[in-house]
Structure 1
Amino acid sequence: MTTLYTVLAFAGVGLAGLASSIRVITQYERGVVFRFGRVRDAVRGPGLTVLVPGADRLRKVNMQVITMPVPAQDGITRDNVTVRVDAVVFYKVSDPVRAVVDVENYNSAIGQVAQASLRSIIGKSELDDLLSNREKLNQGLELMIDNPALDWGVHIDRVEIKDVVLPESMKRSMSRQAEAERERRARVITADGELQASSMLAEAAGTMAEQPAALQLRLLQTVVEVAAERNSTLVLPFPVELLRFLEHATPPVPRQAAPK
Structure 2
Amino acid sequence: MTGAYLFPLVIVVALIAMSIKVLREYERGVVFFLGRFQSVKGPGLIIIIPGIQQMVKVDLRIITLDVPSQDVISQDNVTVRVNAVLYFRVVDSAKSVIQVEDYFAATSQLAQTTLRSVLGKHDLDEMLSERDKLNTDIQEILDAQTDSWGIKVTNVEIKHVDLNESMIRAIARQAEAERERRAKVIHAEGELQAAEKLSQAANIISQNPAALQLRYLQTMADMSNSGQSNTIFFPLPMELTKVFDAIAAKFGAHGTAAGAAKD
TM range (shorter): 0.7 to 0.9
Q: 1:208 aligns to what? A: 205
**In structure 2, do the counterparts of structure 1 residues 226 and 100 end up closer, same or farther at CA, with 3 Å as the change threshold?**
same
- Asked if structure 2 preserves the Cα contact closer than 8 Å seen for 1:86 and 1:164, the reply is yes
Structure-2 change in CA distance of 1:239 and 1:15 (3 Å): farther
Mapped contact 1:215–1:242 kept (Cα < 8 A): no
Identity %: 45
CA gap of 1:237–1:54, structure 2 versus 1, over 3 A, is farther
2:28 aligns with one of 23, 30, 37: 30
TM-score relative to the length of structure 2: 0.83
- Within a 5 Å distance, the mapping from 1:180-219 to structure 2 comes to 180-219=177-216
Change (3 A) 1:36 1:227: same
- Listed as ranges, the matches of 1:53-202 within 5 Å are 53-202=50-199
Whether the 8 Å contact between 1:87 and 1:162 is mirrored in structure 2 is yes
CA deviation profile, 1:14-38 (whole Å, cap 9, x unmatched): 2222112111101111111122212
**How many residues matched?**
245
Structure 1 stretches of at least 4 aligned residues deviating more than 6 Å after TM superposition? none
Secondary structure at the aligned position of 1:202 is classed as: helix
CA distance in 1: counterparts of 2:117 and 2:228, whole angstroms: 72
Contact kept in structure 2, 1:212 and 1:245, CA below 8 Å: no
Counterpart residue number, 2:252:
none
Distance 2:84 2:61 in 1: 20
Kindly state the Cα deviation for residue 169 of structure 1 after the two structures are TM-superposed.
1.2
Q: Which consecutive residues of structure 2, in runs of 5 or more, have no partner in the other structure? A: 245-263
Kept in 2, the 8 Å contact 1:93–1:99? The answer is yes
- In structure 2, how many angstroms separate the alpha carbons of the residues matched to 1:236 and 1:218? 15
Tell me the amino acid that sits aligned with residue 139 of structure 2: E
Say whether the 8 Å CA contact 2:34–2:53 is kept in structure 1: yes
Shift of the 242–229 alpha-carbon distance from structure 1 to 2, 3 Å rule, reads farther
Aligned twin of 2:257: none
* AA matched with 2:125: D
1:242 CA displacement: 6.8
Q: Which residue of 2 aligns with 1:5?
A: 3
> What per-residue deviation string (whole Å, max 9, x for no partner) do you get for residues 138-181 of structure 1?
22222332233112111111222222112211111111111111
- The code of the aligned residue for 2:156 comes to V
User: How far apart are the structure 2 equivalents of 1:237 and 1:44?
Assistant: 106
The separation in 2 between residues aligned to 1:232 and 1:193, in whole angstroms, is 28
d(CA) in 2 for partners of 1:33, 1:123: 43
Distance 1:90 1:206 in 2: 69
Matched, 1:16 2:14: yes
Q: Could you say what secondary structure the match of 2:70 adopts?
A: strand
Change in Cα spacing, 1:50 to 1:211, as seen in structure 2 (3 Å) is: same
CA RMSD of aligned residues (A): 2.5
What do the CA deviations read for 1:40-63 (whole angstroms, capped 9, x no partner)? 1x3112111111122222111011
Name the SS of the counterpart of 1:151 in structure 2.
helix
**Secondary structure of the residue that 2:149 maps to in structure 1?**
coil
| Deviation, structure 1 residue 211 | 1.6
More helix by share: 2
Q: How far apart are residue 232 of structure 1 and its match?
A: 7.8
User: Aligned-pair distance for 1:221?
Assistant: 3.0
Q: Which residue of 2 aligns with 1:250?
A: none
